Chains A and B, each alone.
Chain A
Amino acid sequence: EAGVAQSPRYKIIEKRQSVAFWCNPISGHATLYWYQQILGQGPKLLIQFQNNGVVDDSQLPKDRFSAERLKGVDSTLKIQPAKLEDSAVYLCASSLDVGPSFFGPGTRLTVL
């Protein structure tokens, strides 16, 4: 069974630039999550989708972050404009309605 796919794996940008990350969840998983993991910390949930609807985006900085999940499968997370403090690993995960979440390899973002 294929796992959660993410791209790119690494991205380096300058502050105020824009960046987008892509995630393809495990086939059949209705729930998709984006997490931000800052070095030395646990993952923090940014947004949770159920199919193509948003379930929880309470910790998403909506002035600069946006995410969509068109057609209830793939998802993109965008940052515009980026700040230095956005440097982190962005993790995508998916799950069935119940049960554990499975994580992709992450995208390591460095903002200079």
Chain B
Amino acid sequence: GNSVTQMEGPVTLSEEAFLTINCTYTATGYPSLFWYVQYPGEGLQLLLKATKADDKGSNKGFEATYRKETTSFHLEKGSVQVSDSAVYFCALKGNEKLTFGTGTRLTIIP
């Protein structure tokens, strides 16, 4: 079946550092890929998405590129802020079923 493997956390970075959170997947067919974010005390929010190979999703300075050859969808941001502290979930959607990774807790210190 489909599965998502996500970089284990927690990850702690200083403000303005470069961020990468790794995500790889296993799926049949051509799934869509997503990053969701969960801020403290809040629900899951869609951060960005990509629906086909080589697509780049971007939002709020975050980017991720759908790499079919490496089955990856790594999340990156060039300069993180304290307000980016949250839990980040990589997910894929195949046959209308959304499968999540285990989440990566990110803490940004000033």
Contact = CB atoms under 8 A, between A and B. Distances in A.
Contacts, number: 50
Given A45-B97, A101-B93, A91 B43 contact: yes
Nearest to B41: A105
Main secondary structure of the interface of B (DSSP, over half): strand
B100 A43 contact: yes
Given A103-B43, A103-B44, A41 B102 contact: yes
B34 interface: yes
Nearest to A4: B43
Contact of A41 (B43, B96, B98, B103): B103
A42 B100 contact: yes
- Ranked nearest first, the 5 interchain pairs of A and B with the lowest CB-CB distance are A42-B100, A103-B44, A105-B43, A42-B102, A100-B46
Interface residues of B, number: 21
Interface residues of A, number: 25
Contacts of B97: 45, 48, 56
B45 interface: yes
A50 to B, nearest CB: 8
B69 interface: no
A50 B97 CA distance: 11
10 contacts: A42-B101, A42-B102, A56-B97, A91-B44, A93-B44, A93-B98, A100-B46, A102-B46, A103-B36, A103-B43
